[in-house]
Structure formats: C-alpha cells, structure tokens
C-alpha cells in the first residue's frame, strides 16, 4: 500500500526572454542530467514572437522515425504533480506551462531528445536529457571515513562523479543529516560536436553525444549519495490554528491540560504482515527529508536502502519510508521532516483482524504470485527433465539390444 501527499509543481514567472534570445541557425542539444523520480523543467529558451504556442516532441535517438508529441497542437497539456505516480504512462507525466515542459517523476526510459517547436515540425530549441537510474546508487558516509568513487581513466576517456550542492540539514534542534547527489559524467575529445557542453568535452554518461563504445566503459560508474551529519538550531515560530485554539480553550475550561500536536497527523490502520510505503507531503527526491518514529530518529546511516540487505524498515532514494511485513511493534507516530522543518505526522495502527482484499498493486501480493509461478516453473522443468532422461535411456537401451 502507498500513502502520499504531494503539492503542485511550482513555476516562477519569468520575463519575456524571447525578445532577447535569438534562435540558433543550426539546432543544438543542451545536455541535462537528473536522477530517476525527479521532477524538472525544460524551458523553451527561444521562439519567434509571432508563434503563440509551442509543441514539445520526444525522440529516443536522433533521426529516429518514431517521434512522440508530448503536448496537443495548441501547446496545452496540464498535469498536476499530485496525479502522477511511479510507473505512470509517459504521456501522463508531462505538462506544458509558459512554453516550458514540466517532467514529473522522470524514469530512465524517458532519457532522449526533447524538441521545442511548432505544430508544423519547425524546431527552435532542443535538449539532450539523461535520466540516471537510482537502483544502483552507492551511499558514502563521511562520518565513517568513507570516500566517494575514484575517477576512472581509459586512455583519453575520463569518467567521474559531479556532485550537486549539499542539501540543508534535514532536522533542526537535534543531530541531523545532509547529503549531496552525484551523477556520472565523462570527458572525452570524441564527443559529437552537435551537443552543447557547459565544460568543453564534458557531458553526462548517458548523453546521446557519447559514442556507444564509450558508454560501455562508463556503464558501471553509478550515481552516488554523499551523507554527513549536521546540527542547526530551529527557527522560533509560534503559529496555532484557530480550530486547534478553540479546542484548547474548551479543554482548559474543564481543568485539564491538552496535548497539542505540533504538526497535522494522519491516521491509518494497517493489516498485520502487509507492506506500507509512506511519502512525505510535498517532498521530492532532491529535498532534505528525514523520518522519526515517536522519539527515535531514523538516520540514513542505519536505514538507507541497501545498507543492509535484510532490512524490513528502510528509506529509499526517493525519500519514502518503507515498512515490509508490518509487525505489531511498528505501531506509533511517524514524523516527516522536509528541508529542516517537521511538516507532518502519521499515526500507524496495526491490526490482525478484518479482511484485506488481495490486489496486484500490493508489492507483497506480486511477490507471492511471482514466487508461486517460479516454483511451478521449477517443478515443471524438473518433471520434464526427468522424463527426457528416461526417454533417452530407453532409446539408448533399445539401440543396444538391436
């Protein structure tokens, strides 16, 4: 089961850049790299002023005969981030606003070339987008003396990690953590000249500017996550909602001191033995997100996905909290921090009663079905192999007797 609250992707109003930015005479591709599940914006940096709307196109490879139209021919496709889930169809994860293309929860298969143009197929600006998979991401903990990957050299090819800025501390008033995402980049003089590069001869490892033979050498250089501890004070804020204040006043009149939650709390009852995924409201993979259970801090050094293969409770690289095979001691309040501020609470109750309808959308149900099918296939293979061996032995004996 997945529980999530999200907010709409925010776009800041921009000045009219089209009067200042002429379109290039020869179409070039601007390289951009992101981590899987991130949401990002691709601005159409130039277009003729007489063009009232733009249309965005997608190609997997340059010159491909299959081109997808990502917006309608009036340039109006609006998608809210709250409606987008992991695994959603490609065309449901795009939106166009103010001539910019918004991509929600991008996946590695979304890597490719994006064109800003007209309904007639005239292109003004283009991007070479590389979405790097987070499945093989390696976490490095500075407090434990660990070091990031060393650069790799293969003749004139230089493969390395480019790190983003450190996130803010994910908690305040107590020890927290901050991290920075590192994506795979390479430097080579053999790159295609048609792709724009912020640094000469440097692009992301999955760029279409990289020849296939170089991509093979850089394939094993996975994204990295660098984590370190931090401590920051909390900003003093004193805001009490009117509804909560009315309850406080009423309870105070009868002589008892009420417990006032510092953040809004949701309630959920979960069936014993089933899995649960909790998402932090408004959080994206690039945000600093932390989780607490009651007064216990769930630090990434212990709970990050991949730290221990047998983990039942873990935090994935998209900042979601996973609880596999819920147990009775999982009951409690789970607090979510975003950008150093505690923003939400989640009270979890666990029950062994009630009917829980099986659904293929449940990861545990899918795992059970897969294991059952694998077991049947294995038994069938053994059965067929035994009978084939018996048939071969029988034929061999027949030939010897004849």
Give yes or no for residue 385 having a pLDDT over 70.
yes
Strand partners for 391: none
d(CA 136, CA 164): 18
Give a three-class secondary structure readout of the chain.
Answer: CEECCCCCCCCCCCCCHHHCCCCCCCCCEEEEEEECCCCEEECCCCCCCCCCCCEEEEECCCCCCCCEECCCCCCCCCCCHHHCCCCCCHHHHEEEECCEEEECCCCHHHCEEEEEECCCCCEEEEEEEEEECCCCCEEEEHHHCCCCCCCEEECCEEEEEEECCCCCCCCCCCEEEEEEEEEEEEECCCCCCCEECCCCCEEECCCCCCCHHHHHHHCCCCCEEEEEEEECCCCCCCCCCHHHHHHHHHHHHCCCCCCCCCCCEEEEEEECCCCEEECCCCCCCCCCEEEEECCEEECHHHHECCCCCCCCEEECCCCCEEECCCCHHHCEEEEEEECCEEEEEEEEEEECCCCCCCCCCCHHHHHHHHHHHHHHHHHHHHHHHHHHHHHHHHHHHHHHHC
Find out whether 132 and 224 touch, Cβ atoms under 8 Å.
no
Find out whether 152 and 178 touch, Cβ atoms under 8 Å.
no
pLDDT of residue 237: 63
Mean pLDDT taken over the chain: 80
Share of the chain above pLDDT 70, in %: 79
The closest of 224, 220, 217 to 188, measured between CA atoms, is 217
- Give mean pLDDT, residues 167-179: 93
The closest of 202, 213, 218, 101 to 159, measured between CA atoms, is 218
Find out whether 138 and 150 touch, Cβ atoms under 8 Å.
no
d(CA 268, CA 328): 14
Task: Count CB neighbours of 186 within 10 A.
Answer: 26
Find out whether 68 and 145 touch, Cβ atoms under 8 Å.
no
pLDDT of residue 159: 94
244-251: long-range contacts, CB 8 A cutoff, minimum separation 24: none
d(CA 179, CA 146): 14
**C-alpha torsion sign, points 139, 141, 144, 150:** positive
In b/e form, how buried is each residue of 293-304, taking b as 16+ CB within 10 angstroms?
beeebbbbeebb
Six-digit token string for 155:
């003749």
pLDDT of residue 28: 87
> Which pTM does this prediction carry?
0.69
Q: What is the pLDDT of residues 174-232, one digit of tens each?
A: 999 999 999 999 999 999 888 877 788 999 999 999 998 888 888 889 999 999 999 99
The closest of 113, 99, 13, 101 to 48, measured between CA atoms, is 99
pLDDT of residue 3: 47
The answer to which of 73-82, 151-160, 292-301, 314-323 has the lowest mean pLDDT is 73-82
pLDDT of residue 80: 41
pLDDT of residue 120: 80
The larger pLDDT score, comparing residue 71 to residue 291, is at 291
pLDDT of residue 187: 93
């Amino acid at each position: 089961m997945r529980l999530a609250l999200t907010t709409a992707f925010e776009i800041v109003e921009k000045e009219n850049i089209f009067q200042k930015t002429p379109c290039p005479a020869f179409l070039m591709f601007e390289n951009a790299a992101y981590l899987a599940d991130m949401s990002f914006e691709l601005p159409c940096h130039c277009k003729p002023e007489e063009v009232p709307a733009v249309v965005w196109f997608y190609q997997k490879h340059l010159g491909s005969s299959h081109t997808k139209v990502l917006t309608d021919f009036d340039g109006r496709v609006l998608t809210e981030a709250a409606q987008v889930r992991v695994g959603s169809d490609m065309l449901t994860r795009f939106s166009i606003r103010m001539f910019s293309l918004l991509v929600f929860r991008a996946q590695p298969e979304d890597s490719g070339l994006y064109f800003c143009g007209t309904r007639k197929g005239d292109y003004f600006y283009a991007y070479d987008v590389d979405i790097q998979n987070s499945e093989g991401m390696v976490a490095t903990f500075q407090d434990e003396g660990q070091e990031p990957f060393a650069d790799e050299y293969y003749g004139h090819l230089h493969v390395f990690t480019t790190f983003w800025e450190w996130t803010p501390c994910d908690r305040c008033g107590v020890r927290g953590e901050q991290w920075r995402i590192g994506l795979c980049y390479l430097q080579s003089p053999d790159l295609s000249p048609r792709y724009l590069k912020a640094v000469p001869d440097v692009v992301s490892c999955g760029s279409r500017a990289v020849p296939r033979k170089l991509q093979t050498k850089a394939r094993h250089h996975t994204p990295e996550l660098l984590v370190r501890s931090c401590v920051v004070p909390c900003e003093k804020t004193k805001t009490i909602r009117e509804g909560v204040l009315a309850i406080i006043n009423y309870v105070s009149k009868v002589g008892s001191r009420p417990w006032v939650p510092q953040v809004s709390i949701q309630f959920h009852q979960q069936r014993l033995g089933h899995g649960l995924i909790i998402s932090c409201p408004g959080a994206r993979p690039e945000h600093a997100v932390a989780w607490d259970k009651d007064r216990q801090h769930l630090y990434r050094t212990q709970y990050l996905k991949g730290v221990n293969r047998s983990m039942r409770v873990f935090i994935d690289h998209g900042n979601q909290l996973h609880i596999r095979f819920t147990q009775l001691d999982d009951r409690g309040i789970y607090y979510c921090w975003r950008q150093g501020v505690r923003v939400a609470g989640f009270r979890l109750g666990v029950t062994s009663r009630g009917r829980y309808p099986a659904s293929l959308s449940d990861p545990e149900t899918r795992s059970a079905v897969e294991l059952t099918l694998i077991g049947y296939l294995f038994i069938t293979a053994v059965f067929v192999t035994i009978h084939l061996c018996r048939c071969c032995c029988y034929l061999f004996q027949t030939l010897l007797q004849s």
